[in-house]
Chains A and B, each alone.
Chain A
Amino acid sequence: MSPGSDTPARVILGATSFADAEAAMGFAIALARRLNGELMGLLIEEETFLACSSGRGTQAVMASGGAATTLSPAAMRAAYRRDARVFRKRLEEAALGSALRWSFATRQGRAPLLLSQAAQGGDLVILGYRAPKFTAGHVVAVMGAVLDADTLARAAHLARESGRGLSVLARGDMCEAVVTAALRLGTPVRVIAADDQATLLHRLNRLHAAIVFLGGESVPPAALPVVIEAARAPVVLPAGTAG
């Protein structure tokens, strides 16, 4: 977020596959409309995936549960090209349907780094993720040492708009402040205490979140990959992470 501005310039929907991007597309559109920002799609050809698809030590499973037998860097690149085409098309349709400005790009590299590079001050970054789910799932906000009011407000708004419940993971001493803030926003909230990273990961892993908002300073940059993995849901990165 740029200094002195309340409005992000862009909502960046980043993903390492179209399936993940699609799962977060609705949330990204809702956020972009609320913030009246440009919607940017960013498909990241994750270097790790390409590297791991060429040798031993790595195994693949298809989304249907079958063993993947054709894993190779060439096949992975072809899959990326296919995903890029579909991602762009869907993004365009969704953005035009909501009268949003939009753009699309593909990058090759490490996802966290690329997202950091792509995001400028004021941008909001969502990392897409799709997991098979039967239930609607909550909108989850993760608070750090301080109450990130903007993140909480965005999460509360999205929860209301999508008809989902709102859960907040916060340090024990923050719980009361979170409840008070949420009540001011007019949104019922379930506050779950998570005083350390292990607890946070465990709780997050068990929450079945629909989307996770990471508040400012809630997660150290180094822990971001494991948090994202534990969330198994689209993750909106803390505003301060970008740029």
Chain B
Amino acid sequence: MTSDAIPDALAPDALRQPFDPADLGFETTADLEPLDMLPGQDRALDAIRMAGHVGHSDFNLFVLGPAGSGRHAAVRQILSEIAEKRSVPDDWVYVANFEDERKPRALRLRAGMAQRLKAAMEHLIDDLANTIPSLFESEDYQTRRHGIEQEYGEKHEAAMSDLFERARERNVAIMRTPMGYMVAAMQDGEVVTPEQFEKLPEDEQEKIEEKVSEIREEMEAILKEVPRHQKTVRAKVEALNQSLAEDGVNTAIAEAFADLQGDRVIDDYVAAVRADLIENPELFLIRNDNGRAGAFPVATTRHFAKPQFARYAVNLMVSHDADADTGAPVVEEALPSMANLIGRIEHGAQMGALYTDFTMIKPGALQRANGGFLILDATQLLTEPFAWNALKRSLKTGRIQIISPGEEMSLISTVSLEPDPIPLDVRVILVGERRLYYLLSLLDPDFAQLFKVQADFEDAMPRTDESVRLYARLLGSLARRGGIRPLDAPGTARALLEGTRLADDKERLSLGVGSLSDLLREADYFAARDGVDAIGPDQIDRAVAAAETRAGRVRDLEQDAILRDTLLIDTDGARVGQINALSVMQLGGVRFGRPSRVTARVRVGAGKLVDIEREAELGGPLHSKGVMILSGFLGTQFAPDIPMSLWASIVFEQSYGGVDGDSASAAELFALLSSLSELPIDQSFAVTGSVNQFGDIQAIGGVNEKIEGFFDICAGRGLTGRQGVLIPQANVKHLALRQRVVDAVADGQFRIIPIRSVAEGLTLLTGRPAGERQTDGTYPANSVNRLAEDRLRGFAEARKGFVNSMRREGGTP
């Protein structure tokens, strides 16, 4: 096609590509075999399977794709199948470290053993709480203890008695004062005071001092023995206590752990418990009821729950039922905070102070998923403070170390614990948007090391006979899973068509199962109201229309503003430097197209193209890029042998928000060339498409919404038959327009014209040939390009004349 040829408007059948119900080969989707896996996602599903089977620790998986693509369900299903075939992982418990209470011990036990250990320990403590007090209250014990105390008490008392008697015999008094004992001589039953002492003869003084000194020295010796005696008595009583406790503890342990012997971990722990119990029998002699027994007899009290026995508790972190044969765990954590991931150490308040112990350690998702799979939402994870770092640290070190955010920031000052880290063997699956995957890859060097597998979910799949069959089964499966009516064949064909619309491509089918599922459930609502057994095309249509209506308030306001000429959009007539561009607005999950007036003005200048949107900081970078491309096109298309002497401004009129994207660059160029050539543009048209420096029209996004946006305005004012939209030829395959547009085109009331080049567009918009440069280097007379180039040359001459006149006058141009 030459540049002056006018492309044809598209036929109605090019605007959407319906499916023939007869080709589907079933009456309703209930006849179809359910689909157990998503169609068209083989690449992603294989990646998930690979990550599920590979044993290496750093082959964690990032599942990327748009929300509603069925990522979570697919991950859950595949991993559950893999997990079922794996063995049940070990149990984990925390128990007291009797040597260092701040460092609780983690015990790894065979699956099912954690509960049994806990039950055995509770039984043991209950048993001892009943037997040990009985042992210590027994007459035998009391007699033996009294014997020890008596032995040493009598020794001391005898020594003191002897001393006091000797002192009395020697007329020496031993007095107790606030400063200790005072030893002084006595005379006639009275203490000899220093004054009296000084009056005594010297030899008598010496005698007194001698006997006082002797008594004092003896007293010192006896008193110094007291602590040693007390220590000996204590040691002997403790030894007696331990020997008594040992008998009771050994008997109770043998009974409680009769069925749990032979497990090395349990045996070691029980040995430590045994030693601690023997060392601390007094724990069983503490009464918590202030002498008042509860409603139940003491023998049935839950003694193990008493505070003094907390050190013998077994804190279950992970406990499995070995007999259930459930396989490895597949855990999903909806709130992946740091604490919910790695676990936390809770604190209690007592008398205004915080305290904790190993029984307050709570497991997180990593502990629960250990030995299996952990599925996390990437956005949730990254928005939880410290959670991402905690997860990475656990994966890198291969162990779960419980620390709090306060400890991580070194802010905590209260007493806390350092529990044994638990070895980690888990496959983590992050599910998130593509943007997050690429950002993490770019910004976090650890990410690529830890998440070596990516499962990239497709947005759509090619439309083939096979894929159409699979898609019909997918629709049937969604209906079955959602507990709604099946679709009949025409309904399926209509839903397939909607699948192309969701894919923005008539040659592809959307894999957004979330949107499809929503559509089917809403259609089922209408089917129920209609009293039909299967969802048909009518219900699908109504569901689509209802969804658009519900979300269409802003769109309707926009259209209303245009129809009432508040927003100025012409849909007929012609005007120089003015054109209808098309843009797409995305509000929440709804997209709609809207026309915008683009205008351009030109004058003599120094080759500057002013993008008013950018100057006002309302234009995004892609829009600015598009405008710069226009400059490149203009500079090489027209009068390349002379300096560009143009000043031009381009603006989106009545645009008060931001503008981005380059899909209006073709429209901007047409407005600019109209202004330059002073040829009016037919306002019956709207234009979408981007342009390159060679004047080729390139594909844009949202073509369906853009066309429908302009169509609805034209329809609102009354279709004239001239109206239409120029779209890039490359976008024809993306057309999946609504029936109302197709019908108008079929009736000759509306046109959709694909263009490949700026020349084609100019010809259509101005009604005059664009013109190709001839062998003499000029454009044909009266062509758009000729008029534009002549205007530019005129600008150059004018500028040259202006510069010369300024120089003559001695000024600076």
Q: B-contacting residues of A (Cβ < 8 Å)?
A: 16-20, 46, 48-49, 51-68, 71, 75-76, 79-80, 82-83, 129-135, 201-202, 205-206, 208, 222, 225-226, 229-230, 232
Taking CB atoms and an 8 Å cut-off, the chain B residues in 136-159 that contact chain A are: 149-150, 152-154, 156-158
Q: Roughly how many angstroms separate A129 CA and B174 CA in the complex, as a whole number?
A: 12
Known: A52-B184, A53-B177, A56-B194. 12 other contacts (CB 8 A): A16-B177, A46-B175, A53-B179, A55-B197, A57-B205, A59-B184, A60-B181, A63-B181, A79-B177, A131-B160, A132-B226, A135-B154
In the complex, the chain A residue whose C-beta lies closest to that of B179 is: A79
CB pair B176 A134 closer than 8 Å: no
Residues of the A chain whose Cβ atoms lie less than 8 Å from the Cβ of B209: 56-57
Number of interface residues of B (CB under 8 A): 53
- Any A CB within 8 A of the CB of B260: no
CB distance from A56 to the nearest CB of B (A): 6
CB distance from A179 to the nearest CB of B (A): 25
Known contacts A57-B205, A61-B223, A226-B189; decide if A205 and B161 are in contact (CB<8 Å).
yes
Interface string of B353-392 (1 = CB under 8 A from A): 0000000000000000000000000000000000000000
CB pair B193 A229 closer than 8 Å: no
Q: Which of A63, A71, A75, A133 contacts B153 (CB 8 A)?
A: A133
In the complex, the chain B residue whose C-beta lies closest to that of A131 is: B160
CB pair B165 A202 closer than 8 Å: yes
CB distance from B141 to the nearest CB of A (A): 16
CB pair A60 B179 closer than 8 Å: yes
Taking CB atoms and an 8 Å cut-off, the chain B residues in 152-209 that contact chain A are: 152-154, 156-158, 160-161, 164-165, 168, 173-185, 189, 191-198, 205, 208-209
CB pair B153 A17 closer than 8 Å: no
In the complex, the chain A residue whose C-beta lies closest to that of B230 is: A134
Q: Which of B175, B192, B225 contacts A57 (CB 8 A)?
A: B192
Q: Which of B173, B194, B198, B226 contacts A229 (CB 8 A)?
A: B173
CB distance from A201 to the nearest CB of B (A): 7
A and B contact pairs by CB, cutoff 8 A, 12 listed: A52-B194, A58-B194, A59-B182, A63-B180, A65-B221, A66-B224, A76-B177, A76-B178, A131-B160, A134-B233, A205-B165, A229-B173
Residues of the B chain whose Cβ atoms lie less than 8 Å from the Cβ of A68: 179-180
Interface string of B223-249 (1 = CB under 8 A from A): 111110110010000000000000000
CB distance from A141 to the nearest CB of B (A): 19
CB pair A229 B220 closer than 8 Å: no
CB pair B194 A61 closer than 8 Å: no
CB pair A51 B194 closer than 8 Å: yes
CB pair A61 B189 closer than 8 Å: no
Known contacts A57-B192, A129-B176, A130-B176; decide if A135 and B226 are in contact (CB<8 Å).
no
CB pair A59 B216 closer than 8 Å: yes
CB pair A46 B194 closer than 8 Å: no
Residues of the B chain whose Cβ atoms lie less than 8 Å from the Cβ of A55: 193-195, 197-198
- Any A CB within 8 A of the CB of B759: no
Residues of the B chain whose Cβ atoms lie less than 8 Å from the Cβ of A53: 177, 179, 182
CB distance from A47 to the nearest CB of B (A): 9
Known contacts A17-B178, A56-B209, A130-B176; decide if A61 and B165 are in contact (CB<8 Å).
no
Residues of the A chain whose Cβ atoms lie less than 8 Å from the Cβ of B191: 48, 52
In the complex, the chain A residue whose C-beta lies closest to that of B192 is: A57
Q: Roughly how many angstroms separate A82 CA and B179 CA in the complex, as a whole number?
A: 11
- Any A CB within 8 A of the CB of B585: no
Q: Roughly how many angstroms separate A224 CA and B226 CA in the complex, as a whole number?
A: 28
Q: Roughly how many angstroms separate A56 CA and B193 CA in the complex, as a whole number?
A: 9
In the complex, the chain A residue whose C-beta lies closest to that of B183 is: A59
Q: Roughly how many angstroms separate A64 CA and B230 CA in the complex, as a whole number?
A: 13
In the complex, the chain B residue whose C-beta lies closest to that of A70 is: B179
Q: Roughly how many angstroms separate A57 CA and B168 CA in the complex, as a whole number?
A: 16
CB pair B229 A134 closer than 8 Å: yes
CB pair B185 A57 closer than 8 Å: yes
Q: Roughly how many angstroms separate A66 CA and B221 CA in the complex, as a whole number?
A: 9
Most chain A Cβ neighbours within 10 Å, of B191, B208, B213, B225 = B191
Most chain B Cβ neighbours within 10 Å, of A60, A202, A225 = A60
Q: Roughly how many angstroms separate A20 CA and B209 CA in the complex, as a whole number?
A: 27
CB pair B197 A232 closer than 8 Å: no
Known contacts A134-B149, A135-B150; decide if A58 and B178 are in contact (CB<8 Å).
no
Q: Which of B153, B161, B223 contacts A206 (CB 8 A)?
A: B161
Residues of the A chain whose Cβ atoms lie less than 8 Å from the Cβ of B230: 134
In the complex, the chain B residue whose C-beta lies closest to that of A57 is: B197
Residues of the B chain whose Cβ atoms lie less than 8 Å from the Cβ of A61: 180-183, 216, 219-220, 223
Residues of the A chain whose Cβ atoms lie less than 8 Å from the Cβ of B11: none
CB distance from A16 to the nearest CB of B (A): 7
Known contacts A57-B212, A59-B213, A206-B161; decide if A80 and B153 are in contact (CB<8 Å).
no
Known contacts A57-B197, A64-B223; decide if A226 and B168 are in contact (CB<8 Å).
yes
Residues of the A chain whose Cβ atoms lie less than 8 Å from the Cβ of B225: 65
Q: Roughly how many angstroms separate A67 CA and B216 CA in the complex, as a whole number?
A: 9
Q: Roughly how many angstroms separate A65 CA and B225 CA in the complex, as a whole number?
A: 8
Q: Roughly how many angstroms separate A171 CA and B233 CA in the complex, as a whole number?
A: 37
- Any A CB within 8 A of the CB of B222: yes
Q: Which of A46, A65, A67, A225 contacts B177 (CB 8 A)?
A: A46
Report, nearest first, the 6 A-B pairs whose CB atoms are least far apart. Answer: A55-B194, A134-B153, A65-B223, A57-B197, A65-B224, A79-B178
Residues of the B chain whose Cβ atoms lie less than 8 Å from the Cβ of A16: 175-178
CB pair A19 B176 closer than 8 Å: yes
Known contacts A52-B191, A134-B152, A229-B173; decide if A57 and B208 are in contact (CB<8 Å).
yes
CB pair B180 A54 closer than 8 Å: no
CB distance from B690 to the nearest CB of A (A): 92
Residues of the B chain whose Cβ atoms lie less than 8 Å from the Cβ of A229: 164, 168, 173-174
Most chain A Cβ neighbours within 10 Å, of B164, B178, B193, B216 = B178
In the complex, the chain B residue whose C-beta lies closest to that of A83 is: B178
Q: Roughly how many angstroms separate A201 CA and B179 CA in the complex, as a whole number?
A: 26
CB pair A48 B216 closer than 8 Å: no
CB distance from B647 to the nearest CB of A (A): 98
In the complex, the chain B residue whose C-beta lies closest to that of A201 is: B168
Known contacts A61-B219, A66-B220; decide if A17 and B176 are in contact (CB<8 Å).
yes
CB distance from B509 to the nearest CB of A (A): 87
Residues of the B chain whose Cβ atoms lie less than 8 Å from the Cβ of A17: 176-178
Q: Which of B153, B175, B178 contacts A208 (CB 8 A)?
A: B153
Q: Roughly how many angstroms separate A149 CA and B180 CA in the complex, as a whole number?
A: 37
Residues of the B chain whose Cβ atoms lie less than 8 Å from the Cβ of A222: 189
Q: Roughly how many angstroms separate A79 CA and B182 CA in the complex, as a whole number?
A: 14
CB distance from A186 to the nearest CB of B (A): 23
CB distance from A61 to the nearest CB of B (A): 4
